Structure 1
Amino acid sequence: MEHQSARASCFAKPIQTATVWITLVVFIPGLAMAVDSDQVFRAGAFAIDITPETFPVSSSGSMTHRIATRAHDPLHARCLVLDDGQTSIALVTCDSCMIPREIYDAAKRRASETTGIATDHILCSATHTHTAVSVAPTFQSLVEEDYLPFLTERIAEGIRQAHSQLEPARIGWAIGNNPNQVFNRRWFLRPEVEINDPFDSGTDRVRMNPGPNSRSLLQPAGPVDPEVPVLAVQALDGRPIAMWANYSLHYVGGVPPESLSADYFGEFARQFTKMILATHSKPPFVAAMTNGTSGDINNINFFEGRTSQPPFEQIRLVANDVAASAAVAYQRVQFENWVPLEMRETEIELGVRRPNASEIARAKQLIAESGPGPWKDRRLIYAGETLDLAQYPSSVKVKLQAIRIGGLAIVSSPCETFVETGLAIKKSSPFKPTFTIELANGYNGYLPTPEQHALGGYETWRAKSSYLSVDAEPKIRETLLQLLDELNEPRPESTATP
């Protein structure tokens, strides 16, 4: 059903707090305990509407320009602020396909000015719904320029609202599992099957999204990650405040082209809230699904195929199934009264795969023969991308972050990261559990491993959606593991005095 939600109309000032030394007695049904309040953990959450105020708008997620005339369901920026008494951090996930770094940086600066949270202690990410407003230049989609100031301010305001609702809280986490909805979309095919690419190079060895249950299929070119990590916070009386989940699933789809939708990410939040009976919590409970490492993962069962569903039905089915897995994990969360928070941020420089002179000449010839776009032919679309990439710098700087929440760790990158990278980080991390959030703090395209680069396929084809150098993945993975090692070092003793 079409929904137009109300937007927050006022801007709450942040609550000013002072550290005091008292003994806080917490009464929970059937349990009473004394807590030394020099270590008070606080949390606040807020989901702010980022649905555009006017239509039509440019919609992302396609190789051709697409116009949306309505919103089937609201888009949100879901915000969570955590404070351990020494360190404050903010987590934000936005219903968007991808968001450029400039927007995030501006929103962080505005939020920091009013909350005091350092900009390098704010993690912002996109869910990767393919039916949101276009805010990043990819393929032939046109950026909705008028929406950018609105999105920037809403992200900042969402963080401010979450910060204003900070209250004493308990926090915990658990790991769920759902292998039913994730499938590697890159496949080896039988030797006699020709695999084409838009550059006519003939070097690809895998195909993205081949026909389900086709006789040409051999085996997937990579694994999947079925984990559903759950991070939860609740008030001292047990009232749920927020839950942040993570799943390595690209998106679901099945949305009419004229509609905006938060895809399964938004439906997951609604379903989970109902499952834990938090629909009427005050302040409103905030559930969020962040995207893990899903650059080569989608929801199509290539082994067996699946029944075609009407619009939005597959979204509902997937969201309900994953929400149920998260709800099971949620029941196993062991809440703690206080845990330490730490966060690291760094910036590294990565090479860009720019086209050479002969590739540029080929692209110009193709476009000259066909005429100006927009184009539907892949060879022409990627010819346009080649000319765009010729204007790129030889290197770009990317922002990487790692967070420690007690014994839990989170890392992030601004890429559509392959599942192998996420699994490798989880395996090598000194923190158990660790999970990853992709498309965070900017957008720098796909991040195949060097081994996947050698196999070719859509995710490696040079474009604004895939341009980092082949060695980018090892550098990002190594840097994130270094940040995790830093977080694993003993925390300095507090110098606070009563």
Structure 2
Amino acid sequence: MKSLRFVRPFPISTVSFSSATLFSLALLPALFLANAALAADAAPLKVGAYAMDITPENFPISSAGSLRARMVKGVHDPLHARCLVVDNGSTAVAFAVCDHCMIPREIMDEAKSRIEKTVGIPAKNILISATHTHTGVTVTPVFEAEVDEPYCDFLTDKIVEGIAEAWERRQPAQVGYGSGHDATQVFNRRWFTTTEYTNPFGVTTDKAKMNPGGNIDALINPAGPIDPEIAFLSAQTPDGKPISVLANYSLHYVGGIPGGLLSADYYGEYATRLAGMLGADGEFVGIMSNGTSGDINNINFRLGSTPRREPFEQIQIVAGSVASATKTAYEEVEYHSALPIDVRETEIELGVRKPTKEEVAQAKAYIASQEDSYKAIEGVYANETVYLADFPDSVKVKLQAIRIGDLAIVSTPCETFAETGIAIKDQSPFKQTFVMELANGYNGYLPTPKQHEWGGYETWRARSSYLATDAEPKIRTALLGLLNDLAEEK
């Protein structure tokens, strides 16, 4: 039986679990038997890890993560592409988790192609993702932020170098996985409230509100669940020396960074804290990937107000709490020196919510009437409307499923809601599964159809939220198909 890994404040009516869950349970005996047979035939595992510094060399530089353009002048703590390679002699997989808000598919595809040519790891066996720190360099155009093109080339080079270095550092290893929990740091940020509000398009019927404020009396219920699981893959040397931990937690980001500075946010601090708790040396690479956190943040709105913190203080609190929960689960991990590794990848086509000609004309008229069209929220979305008019009618997204023993890792290129991650975990035929979002590209928020009906920031049409309202069930179905295909091949 799977351990309790999430908290639901209400039943999820938009997802059905029954048939898929029964199918998954039916597969488990065959899956376990196949694991034993394949592990016996697999060569001893080798693992390599490396934290490649991707901090920009030139300042000032554009930083994403805000409705307005921001130029930063320095760094609070370095940015990294934290890289991990797992190789069983016949199949190798590689991960690169980068301290960025979001990364476009073009950069990731270019890096994968070069890695395949130079290192030999197939492009389909490489998963690259962004952590979603809101104090990284702009490499994806969203809202007013403009891409820094020279840095895009720099980032691509560094991802390639980082995975190549991890490959070179491969050493005999044993690998296991675990699951910790920390419900004290994740809160659903979308709420049903008793107050109405007008969205940037002049609509007053939105039912859900992001970050509803400190008026406790106006709050009804969160519009979705949380997922407090800290799932992780752990690699050690045969004698127990920590090599790397690849963790996954569904928390959007923390913030509280001093103005005008770049930072890896809590993702970087987690790596530092975990290394200290495990007594690891300087070669250990802790990695925190983002789970399904499109509707999750670190603010408990039930309190009405949050304690005043010094810069970076809240990041330290969160990182310490999550690292501590990871360590508790880490001590129970069972390790294996040989495991089967397999990968599935697919590409699906999704519709785009494009504005009408009338909406574009109204947006252009608004922009023309303003001295600073980004000053008001209406102007921000007017500009987004104009940008989306030039989008194609559909886009192709890349999805991936990686199996390492009884652990499965799947990817989504979106800011995915927690309920989607929970559904995938529940219906997966593997003993443990986690979802890495903002991986293999960036395609904006991924609300469920019901969340689209409820409205709110994450559904407002923009380059940050443009997929058709049926995109979530299509992505979820495709990912479960990849997982079931992996399980059937055992």
1:443 is aligned to 2:447: no
* Matching residue of 1:40: 44
Distance of 2:307 and 2:272 partners within structure 1: 25
Provide the aligned length of Structure 1 versus Structure 2: 451
* Matching residue of 2:326: 326
Contact 1:195 1:206 in 2 (8 A): no
Contact 2:42 2:88 in 1 (8 A): no
Contact 2:227 2:422 in 1 (8 A): yes
* Matching residue of 1:239: 241
Trace 1:289-304 onto structure 2 (pairs within 5 A).
289-304=288-303
1:358 is aligned to 2:362: no
Residues 237-265 of structure 1: per-residue CA shift (max 9 Å, x gap): 21111001100000000112300000000
* Matching residue of 1:276: 278
Contact 2:230 2:249 in 1 (8 A): yes
1:85 is aligned to 2:89: yes
Q: Which has the larger radius of gyration?
A: 1
Q: Which moved more, 1:322-331 or 1:364-373?
A: 364-373
* Matching residue of 1:23: none
Contact 1:169 1:235 in 2 (8 A): yes
Distance of 1:413 and 1:487 partners within structure 2: 17
Residues 61-95 of structure 1: per-residue CA shift (max 9 Å, x gap): 00000011000000000000011111110011000
* Matching residue of 2:314: 314
Identity %: 56
1:352 corresponds to which letter in structure 2?
A: V
Off by >3 Å, runs of 4+ in structure 1: 35-38
* Matching residue of 1:477: 476
Q: What is the aligned-residue RMSD (CA, Å)?
A: 1.2
* Matching residue of 1:14: none
Q: Secondary structure at the match of 2:178?
A: strand
TM-score, length of structure 1 as denominator length = 0.89
Distance of 1:439 and 1:245 partners within structure 2: 15
Q: Secondary structure at the match of 2:323?
A: helix
Q: Secondary structure at the match of 1:215?
A: helix
Trace 1:92-241 onto structure 2 (pairs within 5 A).
92-190=96-194, 193-241=195-243
- Unaligned 5+ segments in structure 2 are 1-38
Q: Secondary structure at the match of 1:303?
A: helix
- Unaligned 5+ segments in structure 1 are 1-34, 492-498
* Matching residue of 2:349: 349
Q: Which moved more, 1:394-403 or 1:235-244?
A: 235-244
Displacement of 1:213 after TM fit? 4.9
Distance of 1:432 and 1:76 partners within structure 2: 30
Q: Secondary structure at the match of 1:124?
A: strand
Distance of 2:40 and 2:176 partners within structure 1: 19
Displacement of 1:38 after TM fit? 6.2
Displacement of 1:195 after TM fit? 1.6
Displacement of 1:489 after TM fit? 1.4
Trace 1:377-416 onto structure 2 (pairs within 5 A).
377-416=376-415
* Matching residue of 2:33: none
Q: Secondary structure at the match of 1:420?
A: helix
Distance of 1:372 and 1:227 partners within structure 2: 43
Contact 1:195 1:205 in 2 (8 A): no
Higher helix fraction (1 or 2) = 2
* Matching residue of 2:251: 249
Contact 1:75 1:261 in 2 (8 A): yes
Residues 159-211 of structure 1: per-residue CA shift (max 9 Å, x gap): 00000011111000110000000000000001xx2221000022211110011
Distance of 1:212 and 1:323 partners within structure 2: 29
TM-score, length of structure 2 as denominator length = 0.91
Contact 1:416 1:447 in 2 (8 A): yes
Distance of 1:481 and 1:319 partners within structure 2: 31
